[in-house]
Structure 1
């Protein structure tokens, strides 16, 4: 680091009035340096010359103070080895006193002096350090409303406006030091180029650098929507679409052009820096009234990966506040607010214009039947990408009503990929973001919609009424976790070695395009889940919803919370998953404070419970993190109705069921990776004493039902058991109807009705149990794996593997559950053969438990009865060990 004292005599060479002005300005300016220690960037012993973007007395004062505080050489001292009286120069200067504008100043004189000073002396060098200065980029909560009008933007203002900006926003001044550039290295690389050309080249590179930094800090210069609208309407695809529309509708080209113009205005954002800053000022107060804190994790990694890329933020979508939270947090963190794709239903009178000026652009729910709209919207997206505008959209297509990630809708992703193929000037980076809440303002409306109530239409009056009710509650903490970013170019390289050839035809749709888009969509969802935040409410929901009455003794709940935290910590799902630091006692206290659970006092020990309505709402937060416990839940499910199982059976059945769990929960592993996770989870349960390993690790056994370990396993298992019940409903309904008799849509509807009835009969607290989308996803996965397919008449046919799934379900689902499902679907109960002996008690008698069962002989891994061979009830094991192949199948 440079010694400040060595520069002191040089600093005294500045005029007396400069020092006076510096002292007068000091109380009004608070500087934040980026990086905090810029001296580490410099090479010791080499003269330093600073270059700033715009000439100005205030910028010189701020730079001098920032250098002094950082221990850097003063910009006011003469530059060693040259005739320059100052070690700083600017690329542009102001004219006029009050409202002067900038004019480009060819920096030939200062740059030429620097170049000439190095000629003839190959040992000398000069470090050129670009410095960007921003006053009032992000007004804080304490800032006055008036201050946002004088914060930093793209317009070069006069001295009077700059003075007002310093007085109003000087305490929020950012000085960004870029890495120094060796002038000697630049001259060496230039070779024989003439000095005049070299100077112009350096100036051009510096101007580009400053524009890039300014765009990254305050956003691209999109102050005039007109420029984007004109570019869209003048694009060749849009002109062709206008001509086609005119011919099709038999109208003039001018009239068709006006229709296109109206469509662009309906779509386009009208980004305004003052509005963004004003919204930031308002939202800081709003968030403080609403939330106890907003945390961002792994944001530094995301910011470090972004430079040089067109960044597309792709968050999970759980609330209307997602839009505002993301934009607000990015803005206050020093990153430009992205343009956000919003549903046209939010383009409400009064609200729509504000959202537009905050960066929102609007799209219709469907493009079908409007070719002109489709072309115009695609071109608008292409213009944003071509201009390097960061974007944000939700690939789920709407807010999740269940807490799970929804199946992606890849329309906007496809538009983004095609826009990049058309003009691959800047690589595209997709940034997944997990947004986690502890309470949702839309929670009750979600439950109503899942129960069959129609979705309420958005209106300004409804919004105002909702805000009034929202502000009377507290919603805990919010977490924004930034996941592993995904680069588009490597995906294209893997799909096609000559993908760049597709850029020559803007209308081309290569055969590999859909595959790339689908792969990209799945990776985004997987990476969102890999960045989950586990908050106290998630953990309470996982534990309490696994009990029949949503209640647990306090001692049991403490033990279950400790087990879950240990599981997530010792077997990390991803290095980007974050877990609440609260201990189990603090988690329970927090749940009571938030009103999620209540305490029932009792002499034998307090009981913690969630009321019925709260339990339904808690299912949302359990589903947020269900994927994190999927592996543990599968292992535990294997011991719900079995006392003993072989390790190989757990792995074999796990490989069969995994594609369906993976598709529903967006799990990150391949089949072998999942098997490895299962092995690690089994070992964890053995270490914790929940399972006992015998037979050289081949056999696993849990304790009796009254054992604490068995209780904990059952609690973990029940978080996933409803998924298997849905799977069984689907295959039972299909088997009941038989092949070639029912379409996929009819099966989906039948399954939904069956699940609704089962939910009513059993008072389930999980509305997503009968979510039609989950049945649709399972049926689609059956079709992808060719277990089910569509015949020529559009009806479903299936393979024998479906019958194997019915038989395997007996390992996981209890007889009562299976019979209840078959009774509703109307299936013939061949799952319980007439000659089957009475079922033994769920747990063996004490005498039987004391005498260990004989170790069964090994059986082949693919044996059809392997899933029954380890049954803990000896009578049933003997009855099924050598059952015929068709045993246990529903009637076909």
Structure 2
């Protein structure tokens, strides 16, 4: 006869374990400090009287004592209290998937738990009863601690199943860095019902396998993948079919022995491969704590809890924006400190310096050359190495911009690593893949001075040990706060369903290069950049730069600056750019005081009111931080641009021209809206301006009017317009050069070069301290977008032709740009030599 489970038993008195076990727990307690995940695990367990059993990965007396302490601190029933509610006689309500090891025999293999089998048998015999299984993962020595000694790193948590003595040392040395993670409970009744008529023993074995997979995924998320020795990974890469075929092809082509080509392939693999070490990662974390405290006032993180909730069970690809060399250190440190394994990072081979390269490898860096299209063997080895990491469930990180942004904008993405990732997914699609965009917000950059030089034409300084030593000078400076925002993740499978519904037909094919792949890569890249921008952090320096750089002398009366910053903050609060955008909590007065303390701005006292001014190189450096948030204010800036030279405009005209120019702005700033959505954004922004009194409308709202030019509202609109005005001027330069040179005269490369030269000279004539104004990549992107929309196209001689749509764009520019600006640009383009020949193009390249 089956025993009935007491599902609604009244509360039992406090049940404690054996006296000797309580004594051990009391002795162990001073050595243990627990961090629970989640912080309030009692919310996972409803108070419905269902008996609870805790499931742990491995048997261990120390784990039992740690679990009891964690339950007591979390106000959960202890394993001994929970055992009193079970229908079978047990001292404690714990199931260990790996059974108790013997003192004199080898460690047993995981097998079916006797307790789990008995509980399943009771449940199957009584269809009304249930048991709640709560998986609990315990990690001793996982979380970093700045007071931890170096010797303790040797006993940090890893994948190795250690003996009793080593576990005791780990607790004594690292017990104060213990993580106990409670997972969502599993209903034993529901699990058995889902198995249908399957034999009970088979159902229990399947449940055990599912629980083991859960613990393995959790351990991978917290500790990192169980990587074999680096040499084993290299062997797997060289022995892969794709690499062996390339070795044979190279040997035939170069007339060398296959063994020579194989040695070359192994050399490439060793040059690329990381040599991840938990010990080194833990050691680096100690140094980084001191470094961040030296450099920054704090590292602030937002939306990490959302990442933690979805990361287990996913192959996570971190895709941050790239602003500084500090980016990857900050991200890895932040993930590790908060309980997630640092990813393997794709780093440029230029960082593989003597000494430094070895440390970076052991921290998870793997190195790639800037270009390897002409080296088939290197390409095959690198692609296979990425696939091996992918197949082993290793979290990855790479920067799809290819390099650090010198202007503060997101760069045009490079698709190489994304394409490799998608092909690896098609080949080894065992787990769902998730791309995690990450936004870095700085208040001052270490590389600021070098960025100015590079944008002004100086060659990029190569990385070297001497340069690394010189870089230690930055430790004497102060860099404010850093913000790390985790954007909306992108699930790969749903994106592929959207772009290529039949993509599953290409899975399992090692060398698959389906026709839809380029389109999928482009869509994924654009969505990543858009989600990075939507997770923007608007800090005090961004707001100061946005206002002060709009003034001719980069100076503004304090009262005007307070009003402008207040307007920007109110706009962001009323019309948020994205759900994951964050805004400084400082008020306008505090923002100005903060800018002064950071030495970005200087106060000039005056009897009629103080003036805040940006001086010297700070004006160029601040353009970087203005560009960080330019996309956030694009709708407001566009409306303000329309009223620079017009006091009155119909709503329909404003919306029509906005829709016309939006595709080009969207491509440049990676905006998230469709053309219809941008129209709606303009509508609500217009309503905001009308409500604030910056604009007025007639009775039916069809005509919009601004106040006279000397009014405060007109001044605020003029300041707001400045962040987008330079983009419109760049567009006009491109169109003017096309029209002035005529059809079938310029190639795309020649046009790009002339545009950059024209903008560079214009910035000299008008003292524009904004190096990105003549950035070639921005002109290249605009020209490419014109070609995509068939406004221009290349003829049979690769020269550009255009249609009447180009003339429409030129006409519309009259609405935005003043007559003086248009005439200045046209005069400058008329003075340039015609670039119809190769010699002219070559001279222009040399001048650039």
Instruction: Find the counterpart in structure 2 of residue 606 from structure 1.
Output: 610
Residue 413 of structure 1: CA displacement?
Answer: 0.7
What SS does the aligned partner of 2:485 have?
strand
Question: Which of 279, 300, 321 does residue 295 from structure 1 map onto?
Answer: 300
Residue 113 of structure 1: CA displacement?
Answer: 3.3
Tell me, yes or no, if structure 1 residue 167 matches structure 2 residue 172.
yes
Instruction: Find the counterpart in structure 1 of residue 817 from structure 2.
Output: 813
Contact 2:99 2:113 in 1 (8 A): no
Alpha-carbon distance change, 640 to 182 in structure 1, aligned in 2, over 3 angstroms: closer
Instruction: Find the counterpart in structure 2 of residue 20 from structure 1.
Output: 23
Contact 1:598 1:609 in 2 (8 A): yes
Contact 1:28 1:167 in 2 (8 A): yes
Task: Provide Cα deviations, 1:344-397, integer angstroms capped at 9, x if missing partner.
Answer: 111111111111111111111112210111111111112222222111111111
Structure 1 segment 175-190 matched on structure 2, within 5 A: 175-190=180-195
Task: Provide Cα deviations, 1:285-315, integer angstroms capped at 9, x if missing partner.
Answer: 1111111111111222222233332111111
Instruction: Find the counterpart in structure 1 of residue 710 from structure 2.
Output: 706
Residue 444 of structure 1: CA displacement?
Answer: 0.7
What SS does the aligned partner of 2:507 have?
helix
Instruction: Find the counterpart in structure 2 of residue 357 from structure 1.
Output: 362
Contact 1:31 1:173 in 2 (8 A): yes
Residue 496 of structure 1: CA displacement?
Answer: 2.8
Moved more, 164-173 or 489-498: 489-498
Task: Provide Cα deviations, 1:745-772, integer angstroms capped at 9, x if missing partner.
Answer: 1111111111111111111110101111
Alpha-carbon distance change, 92 to 548 in structure 1, aligned in 2, over 3 angstroms: same
What SS does the aligned partner of 1:718 have?
helix
Moved more, 589-598 or 411-420: 411-420
Contact 1:732 1:827 in 2 (8 A): no
Instruction: Find the counterpart in structure 1 of residue 767 from structure 2.
Output: 763
Task: Provide Cα deviations, 1:155-189, integer angstroms capped at 9, x if missing partner.
Answer: 12222222222122211211112223333333334
Contact 1:269 1:359 in 2 (8 A): yes
Contact 2:636 2:721 in 1 (8 A): yes
Alpha-carbon distance change, 451 to 141 in structure 1, aligned in 2, over 3 angstroms: same
What SS does the aligned partner of 2:515 have?
coil
Residue 666 of structure 1: CA displacement?
Answer: 0.9
Contact 1:97 1:159 in 2 (8 A): no
Distance 2:40 2:718 in 1: 54
Contact 1:733 1:827 in 2 (8 A): no
Tell me, yes or no, if structure 1 residue 253 matches structure 2 residue 270.
no
Instruction: Find the counterpart in structure 2 of residue 88 from structure 1.
Output: 94
Tell me, yes or no, if structure 1 residue 426 matches structure 2 residue 431.
yes
Contact 2:52 2:133 in 1 (8 A): yes
Task: Provide Cα deviations, 1:449-482, integer angstroms capped at 9, x if missing partner.
Answer: 000000000012211220x211111111111111
Contact 1:722 1:769 in 2 (8 A): yes
Contact 2:96 2:113 in 1 (8 A): no
Residue 818 of structure 1: CA displacement?
Answer: 1.6
Distance 1:650 1:187 in 2: 63
**Structure 2 unmatched ranges of 5 or more:** 1-6, 833-848
What SS does the aligned partner of 2:476 have?
coil
Distance 1:51 1:782 in 2: 60
Instruction: Find the counterpart in structure 2 of residue 876 from structure 1.
Output: none
Structure 1 segment 410-809 matched on structure 2, within 5 A: 410-466=415-471, 468-694=472-698, 696-809=700-813
Task: Provide Cα deviations, 1:563-606, integer angstroms capped at 9, x if missing partner.
Answer: 11111111221121111111100000000000000000111110
Contact 2:227 2:392 in 1 (8 A): no
Moved more, 539-548 or 44-53: 44-53
What SS does the aligned partner of 1:479 have?
strand
What's the TM-score once normalised by structure 2's chain length? 0.94
Distance 1:690 1:184 in 2: 64
Contact 1:600 1:608 in 2 (8 A): yes
Distance 2:378 2:655 in 1: 51
What's the TM-score once normalised by structure 1's chain length? 0.89
Residue 117 of structure 1: CA displacement?
Answer: 4.3
Residue 497 of structure 1: CA displacement?
Answer: 2.9
What SS does the aligned partner of 1:720 have?
helix
Question: Which of 187, 196, 200 does residue 205 from structure 2 map onto?
Answer: 200
Root-mean-square deviation (Å): 2.1
Distance 1:706 1:10 in 2: 80
Distance 2:117 2:101 in 1: 23
Structure 1 segment 331-350 matched on structure 2, within 5 A: 331-350=336-355
Tell me, yes or no, if structure 1 residue 323 matches structure 2 residue 328.
yes
Residue 265 of structure 1: CA displacement?
Answer: 1.2
Instruction: Find the counterpart in structure 1 of residue 34 from structure 2.
Output: 31
Residue 198 of structure 1: CA displacement?
Answer: 3.6
Distance 2:691 2:204 in 1: 69
Moved more, 45-54 or 389-398: 45-54
Residue 120 of structure 1: CA displacement?
Answer: 3.9
Question: Which of 271, 275, 284 does residue 279 from structure 1 map onto?
Answer: 284
Contact 1:7 1:73 in 2 (8 A): no
What SS does the aligned partner of 2:690 have?
helix
Instruction: Find the counterpart in structure 2 of residue 388 from structure 1.
Output: 393
Task: Provide Cα deviations, 1:330-355, integer angstroms capped at 9, x if missing partner.
Answer: 11111111111111111111111111
Instruction: Find the counterpart in structure 2 of residue 69 from structure 1.
Output: 73
Alpha-carbon distance change, 600 to 159 in structure 1, aligned in 2, over 3 angstroms: same
Residue 16 of structure 1: CA displacement?
Answer: 2.2
Task: Provide Cα deviations, 1:523-563, integer angstroms capped at 9, x if missing partner.
Answer: 11111111111000000000000000000000110011111
Task: Provide Cα deviations, 1:101-151, integer angstroms capped at 9, x if missing partner.
Answer: 854253443333333444644444333322211111022223223222221
Contact 2:315 2:431 in 1 (8 A): yes
Instruction: Find the counterpart in structure 2 of residue 149 from structure 1.
Output: 154
Rg larger in 1 or in 2? Answer: 1
